[in-house]
Amino acid sequence: MSLTKENANEKNLSEIPYGKLKETFEALGIPSIWKPGTKSKTMVKNALNKLATIKSLEEKGVEQSDLESAVKEAEVKQAKEIEIEDNKKQAKLKKEDDEVVSKIKSENQFTKEQLEIKIKNTQRFAKDCIVTHKGFFNKKLDVLTDMLAKGEYLK
């Protein structure tokens, strides 16, 4: 069976040996997908995305001569959308971190000895906790250690 744009899917492309991916991508009209040293799984994903973009542009009536520039524009637009989404996630994480810091600092008014005990307990929790809670305990540990270093405890 010959691989064409119509029957190219993840299963078909994944079965192609790494060494033959370059000529396969050239035959499909997407030679720019081939990047030496890149994992085949990544190139297959990129190829399927590019083929989907080409197909949607062809369905919209974009002429063959304008297709390459239209594909590049679509890829740039998609990259910007991904960047915007990443920026939103980063802003949300920063806000959550700031909330954790302010909550720890406002609730934890301890003497130096109590703060040292709290740090030891938090270190133990961070070491033994499940992966999803590690970030919280590490952040709490950073805040408590910072409070101790700056002398932000009851005297």
Alpha-carbon gap, residue 103 to 118, rounded angstroms: 15
Is residue 121 a part of any domain in this protein?
Answer: yes
Tell me: pLDDT of 106 over 80.
no
- Tell me the mean pLDDT in the region 98-117: 79
Is residue 32 a part of any domain in this protein?
Answer: yes
Q: For 9-19, what is each residue's pLDDT tens digit?
A: 888 888 889 98
Q: Write down the residue that tokens 């939103």 correspond to.
A: 88
- Tell me the mean pLDDT in the region 123-144: 84
Is residue 90 a part of any domain in this protein?
Answer: no
Q: Write down the residue that tokens 């000895």 correspond to.
A: 113
Range of the domain at 112: 108-150
Is residue 80 a part of any domain in this protein?
Answer: yes
Confidence of residue 1 (pLDDT cuts 50, 70, 90): low
Domains of the chain: total: 2
- Tell me the mean pLDDT in the region 6-31: 87
Alpha-carbon gap, residue 69 to 32, rounded angstroms: 13
Q: Which of 43, 45, 53 is nearest to 23 (CA)?
A: 43
Handedness of CA 89, 92, 96, 101 (dihedral sign): positive
72 shares a domain with 15: yes
Q: Which of 110, 117, 116, 118 is nearest to 137 (CA)?
A: 118
